[in-house]
A and B are shown apart, each in its own frame.
Chain A
Amino acid sequence: MTLRITVCVKYVPDATGDRHFADDSTVAREDVDGLLSELDEYAVEQALRIADESDDAEITVLTVGPEDAREALRKALSMGADRAVHVEDDNLHGTDALGTSLVLAKAIEHIGYDLVVCGMASTDGAMGVLPALLAERLAVPQATLLSEVSVAGGQVTGRRDSDAASERLQASLPAVVSVTDQSGEARYPSFKGIMAAKKKPVDSLDLSDLGIDPDEVGLKGAWTAVEAVAERPARTAGTIVQDEGEGGKQLAEFLAAQKYI
């Protein structure tokens, strides 16, 4: 039996670029380069490793995003995923986390799956909630924030490290998994991988294909509203001193003056 793995990947503005908001308080996408969220590379990597360990597996990468989001799919395909699905619809502009989870869940059901793999958080919204929302919507177990993951005998197991403890988890498939950046370095696409990716199928779906009412998504369908956006005022330039042997002492004086000692 083929193990059907769907990896959710997000197309995000480059964190080293000039990220900012547009007039409608959504992310301004035109002015800054986008890329596959680096944390989703870890999800693709773990999916590839899980596929390698199983007799037969197929990896579909899935994104919900504008036209350019196809670049994120291409990157994932060049790493080794088999095919891609792109959900693209003008009505999606400004969708919140709950709406995004609806679209992703419908698309995952449309594709058919045994395992969903996500990153730990996107690098733009960074809420870290989508995997849990998908488990809720799909009514399957969540095994999230794993720094180690494996699949065998219809079970997913892994390690989840939190503040207070390190835990081992176990759940039956189908399940939703998310992996952290501790799960293992993501591979670079090889030249062969990049060439092969060009021939891999990328299917496009819109809201009507998924039976989603446009009112449920987008800015109109969002259950949260951004009322104001302000750029953080530039920090007033601090005092910078060169250590000539007295740097530690000068710093202590500063801390004392600020009442930290």
Chain B
Amino acid sequence: MTHILVYVDHVDGAVRKPTLELLTLARRLGEPVAVHLGAGAQAAAEILGDHGAVRILAHDAPEYSDYLVAPKVDALQAACAALSPAVVLLPSSAESKEIAARLALRVGAGLITDAVDVEAGPDGPVTTQSAFAAAFTTRSRVTRDVAVITVKPNSAPVEAAPAAGTVEELAVDFADRATGTRITSRTRRESTGRPELTEAETVVAGGRGVNGAENFRIIEALADSLGAAVGASRAAVDSGWYPHAHQIGQTGKSVSPQLYVAAGVSGAIQHRAGMQTSKTIVAINKDAEAPIFDLADYGVVGDLFEVVPRLTEEIRARKA
């Protein structure tokens, strides 16, 4: 059986949704084996097994949280040496892409990042990527025996598929260089209680038109009525109205929800790069010429301070 390694993205054993999506994709290609690094493998094993992981290779050491990226590359390299997988799948987070790149170099694998789909093909996995702010779709494959592929969140469904989920200890020797970049302090982000932006089914984003940090409350109220995550344009973030962690676009988060609602966002190319693959796009903007309307499935030309509260009220009424 062909082994497909799946790198587990988790916080102390709380597995994040994109990892479960990777397991769905991995099952199309071979037998999924999850690699869990750091604390919490037993907690993670259950959910990984429920979603198709036949085996879970686990290793815990302080190096994973005390040093940047390199120790995790050592561990994945060890897993590759042990199992000779055909494919290694990782989520497309900033850190995972760096891990993927260094791993590909070490194991002689081709590297594909930000895939939005992965299928089995005659010569190995075939990926779909979107390029140039999603104006193009490309299909690629790797010309080496091993493929390292990172996949964007929301690219595959999460499906239950019970498997053994046996936890095994992975033996890892850290290279001297693994400890080159020390993490001297860490401040965890406080949870907003709203869904994680990149994983959310619905995203409500505010732009420069929101015109002030205080006014973001009406964006949050709409988001809460829909159970959505809150996003912001760079203009809103640069103005200090909303934290950078919520920025959507080329230099922010890339989102691909079922529903994207943009209020007071013009739709610049760099913003579109981060949201254009959303399934349904809704825009509220007082300028009928704003480029966001070119993408919108439904657009309201109007003042967001009128439209958004009214919409929120309607949604609440319908849900009540």
Contacts and interface: CB of A to CB of B under 8 A. Distances in A.
A136 B131 CA distance: 26
B141 A255 contact: no
A16 interface: yes
Contacts of B314: 248-249, 251-252
Contacts of A15: 132-133, 269-270
Contacts of B202: 260
Nearest to B11: A164
B184 interface: yes
B78 interface: no
A136 B280 contact: no
Contact of A133 (B102, B258, B294, B308): B102
B101 interface: yes
A97 interface: yes
Nearest to A222: B143
B280 A127 contact: no
A260 B258 contact: yes
Interface in A154-181: 157, 160-172, 175, 180-181
A121 B131 CA distance: 14
Contact of B140 (A182, A227, A247, A260): A227
A115 B190 CA distance: 34
A208 interface: no
A237 to B, nearest CB: 9
Contact of B104 (A16, A98, A143, A147): A98
A140 interface: yes
B180 A141 contact: yes
A227 B101 contact: no
A161 B93 CA distance: 12
B13 interface: no
B184 A136 contact: no
B244 A231 contact: no
Contacts of B226: 260-261
Describe A's contact surface by its main secondary structure.
mixed
Interface string A231-261: 1100100111111010111111011101011
Contacts of B301: 240-243, 247
Interface string B84-103: 00000000011101111110
Contacts of A238: 281, 293, 295-299
A19 B132 CA distance: 7
Contact of B313 (A21, A132, A222, A248): A248
Contacts of B144: 223
B224 to A, nearest CB: 13
A153 B211 CA distance: 44
A232 B137 contact: yes
B68 A248 contact: no
A247 B300 contact: yes
A134 to B, nearest CB: 10
Given A129-B100, A238-B297, A224 B251 contact: no
Contact of A144 (B98, B141, B259, B270): B98
Contacts of A135: 102
Contacts of B132: 15, 19-20, 124
Name the residue among A25, A121, A135, A144 with the largest chain B CB count within 10 angstroms: A135
A200 interface: no
A180 B251 contact: yes
Interface stretch (B22-30, B106-114, B156-164): B106-114
Contact of A227 (B141, B185, B189, B294): B141
Interface string B139-155: 11111100000000000
Contacts of A39: 251
Nearest to B129: A226
Interface in B103-130: 104-106, 108-114, 126, 130
Contacts of A260: 202, 226, 258-259, 280
B111 A227 contact: no
B309 to A, nearest CB: 7
Given A129-B113, A142-B68, A162-B94, A167 B311 contact: no
A1 interface: no
Contact of A232 (B102, B130, B269, B309): B130
Q: Which of B270, B294, B296, B299 has the most CB of A within 10 A?
A: B299
A63 interface: no
A175 B143 CA distance: 31
A240 B105 CA distance: 49
Contacts of A164: 11, 188-189
B298 A251 contact: yes
Interface of B: 11, 68-70, 73, 93-95, 97-102, 104-106, 108-114, 126, 130-144, 177, 180-189, 196, 198, 202, 226, 244-245, 250-251, 258-259, 269-270, 273, 280-282, 284, 288, 293-303, 306-315, 318-319
Q: 4 closest Cβ contacts across the A-B interface?
A: A243-B302, A248-B310, A141-B180, A252-B314
19 contacts: A21-B136, A25-B138, A96-B111, A120-B251, A126-B250, A136-B101, A136-B105, A139-B177, A142-B181, A144-B68, A167-B187, A170-B184, A223-B111, A223-B142, A224-B143, A247-B302, A248-B313, A255-B315, A256-B318
Given A165-B186, A166-B189, A248-B310, 5 more contacts: A145-B94, A225-B141, A229-B137, A231-B137, A250-B300
